[in-house]
Amino acid sequence: MATKLTVPISEEQVRALKVGDQVLLSGVIFTGRDTAHKYMIENFVKGSCPDSEKEFYEVLKKELAGSVIYHCGPVVRKRDDGKYEFVAAGPTTSIREEPYQADVMGHFGIRAVIGKGGMRDKTLKGCKEHGAVYLHAIGGAATLIAESCKEVVDVYKLDFGVPEAFWKIRVEDFPCVVTMDSHNQSLHEKVQRESEQKLKQLLAG
């Protein structure tokens, strides 16, 4: 049975999750890919925030606390009323954010990241330290996932390009699975280790 989580998510709720748990996520979350993460690191986490970015920084500090970043480069349509909507919203490969993710989670108080393909040791350590999880979304189901994105609330840094902008969206029963938890357990690491053992057995045979 899936666990229903509503943003903002508490650390207690996150610590109760284990690898393999199914989650239905609701609330306001943000998309963020390579450019967004690099921008946050350079301007906010490790750099001195420029005056021109302070207003947006305050938005992120408030909105990301207890929230979620979704590794996604959506396909977006602008409606006749001027509002945006997601046409497709599949996850992008998360490993590109490995150099940044733990630091971003810690700085902004993020409780979960969503993507595909898993992440590695630095992010896993960050999940344990900061009380966060990695949620795996269904690759190849971009249109289906877009149905969970009920509203585009706002968009920031659209000058980065549509896929790389910060899209603030309201999701409802967004389906995902915990594949890295806050207890140092990673399904991706387990699968890789077992696959390597199987390959050795096959080669030895």
Active site residues: 37
Identify the H or E element spanning 5.
strand 3-6
Q: How many CA atoms lie within 13 A of 42 on its CB side?
A: 6
Judged by DSSP in three states, 101 sits in: helix
Is residue 110 within 8 Å of residue 69, measured between CB atoms? Answer: yes
In order of 53, 75, 79, 166, the CA distances from 23 in angstroms are: 34, 24, 31, 23
